[in-house]
Structure 1
């Protein structure tokens, strides 16, 4: 099965580096991915977090769209609770108008940052825990130019020739059901998977309503990957990414990517050692010769032909080599 391969880029920063360096790395990676044949690249949203350089995936998407020619580009995803449905619909329609058929609106329900960041984003007011599914419905109405909450209110620019792709991000059955019922794409975060991973994606495929936003289901699975010339190097290069996952699990703000040797010093003999290596086991680590088969297995597990690859490494050359190995193997 020929896979459609994409990139989930969190614009990772490194110890001793800068957010600007991370953003420039993201732009360079997108240009490479466009030429190499990747199907899509999407950008995550994080606030007040040292580990990631991008707080505005819609702005980064606009820059990358202007510098690429073929690849689909989008948000992976916008943290909806921090913004109005109307504003999201406006800039979505603008990017779709300027780059028809290439922009992806990925939407997530997570806060995108710890408490202080979320409070600041909401103008120091308590966050309204209203249904994010309701906000999705409102966004769809603005994009399709249907009657909404405000009678006669339009989201410019009007009269799109093509409806932008919408992806609902999630890692559970509820989010899968919501995506299916509204007829939008579903992006499942395998690197955050729980005990009912395939149940979520099967729910999406089985319940998809073809009479809603899109006539066909679109299922992407996001996986964490590290590729190197030998297996031990692939695992070692993934230490920084695994350590960030560990910090996120503990509801800590992840640090910038640390060198593998620093992570090793912190982890070995600590109370987190067992959990860290369980997280590492879930990252797909392999060699260029074997990575294609590993990715095929993952795609078959979820009954999809589209994988989104997440790769955060201390050395940018190791990250680039991983993506090059994956596209060459496919």
Structure 2
């Protein structure tokens, strides 16, 4: 059995009673912690118009995290490419790679990462451009490697051109899975909020995969919510902040991350509970022993080469402790 890598997905949560400045400071601290624990990469996600997420200017936050660390890879999980011109992303990530050589990842998604009105404000048009995603990806790759074009490029990405920046495709359905396979790129699936599509998408990626100059064999990273406490009871208590965040999105009342509560049945309705438990069905919550048991099953089912762990925990020290537990579990599993 090959070693399974483990990484961090950080949404830079803004806490109730806190500020984006405090959130970004917590991200710096967590990244240093993750580096010491042996995590492979630290990714940040692009979201907009969300009071509870501070990583909207994703490239800037990536630079801040890379500057605060030394060896861990830092990147996007992901950049929502339809929100941007390919040239801008090539220049931004070319700059990041120039500042932090050999440490930058570029994960790309095709969703807006926000609502349609905000997407229109970002793009200055109501057209979503999601169907242009394959062309945008090719355009971006050509800015990094002009030899992909039969004609000399009239516009060049500086910095960017000639740099080797790993590109990943991210998805929560089969679309990006198939595209990643056809292009021979690594694929990351968002099982942390789309559990029902996980196995079909991974299967489609493997069946679609064509070896490339980037990858000879498929490489799958799977996103998973893991909230590890000192006990199963503490894990469930800490997870109530995650539940409340998703409940807020379900009710179209997006706000800052709320502190945990003792009894979620006082917060959600039975129908909401059922819907949320389905949407968060792949989440792994509990004490270290339960986390190990569930994680071994999850890894066996998905065949993942790597997991990227999202831990939406209100208390920063408890969040760091959760990532410590996960690192310990992964070292046991890999042993």
Work out the CA distance in 1 between the residues paired with 2:224 and 2:203. Answer: 17
Partners of 2:16 and 2:151 in 1: how far apart? 47
- For 1:199 and 1:328, the matched residues in 2 are separated by 30
Q: 1:106 to 1:148 in 2, by over 3 A?
A: farther
Q: Does residue 1:325 correspond to 2:325, yes or no? A: yes
Counterpart in the other structure of 2:159: 157
Superposed CA offset, 1:135-160 (max 9, x none): 01111111112337883322113663
Report 1:136-147 matches (<5 A): 136-146=137-147, 147=149
Residue 11 of structure 1: aligned partner: 12
Query: Shift of the alpha carbon at 1:290?
Result: 3.6
SS at structure 1 position matched to 2:168: strand
Superposition pairs of residues 59-98 of structure 1, within 5 angstroms: 59-98=60-99
Q: Is the 8 A contact 2:219 2:305 kept in 1?
A: no
SS at match of 2:34: helix
Does structure 1 conserve the Cα–Cα contact (< 8 Å) formed by 2:90 and 2:160? no
Residues of 1 paired with 2:28 and 2:138: CA distance? 32
Displacement of 1:231: 0.9
Q: Note closer, same or farther for the CA distance 1:150–1:255 as it changes in structure 2 (3 Å cut).
A: farther
Matches within 5 A, 1:151-300: 151-157=153-159, 160=162, 163-211=164-212, 213-248=214-249, 250=250, 252=252, 254-261=254-261, 264=264, 267-269=267-269, 271-279=271-279, 281-300=281-300
Question: Which SS does the other structure have where 1:261 is aligned?
Answer: coil
After TM superposition, the score normalised by the length of structure 2 is: 0.90
Write the distance in 2 (CA, Å) between the matches of 1:304 and 1:22: 30
Q: Distance in 1 between matches of 2:167 and 2:134?
A: 13
Structure 1 residue runs without a partner (length 5+)? none
Over the residues paired in the alignment, what is the CA RMSD in angstroms?
Answer: 2.3
Q: CA deviation at 1:64?
A: 1.2
Q: TM-score, normalised by structure 1?
A: 0.91
Name the SS of the counterpart of 2:118 in structure 1.
helix
For 1:122 and 1:327, how far apart are their aligned partners in 2? Answer: 39
| Structure 1 residue 276, shift from structure 2 partner | 3.5
The alignment of Structure 1 onto Structure 2 pairs a total of residues equal to 327
Deviation at 1:96, TM superposition (A): 1.9
Is the CA contact 1:242–1:279 (under 8 Å) kept in the aligned structure 2?
A: no
Give 5+ residue unaligned stretches, structure 2. Answer: none
Q: CA deviation at 1:270?
A: 5.8
Q: CA 1:202–1:271 in structure 2 vs 1: closer, same or farther (change >3 Å)?
A: closer
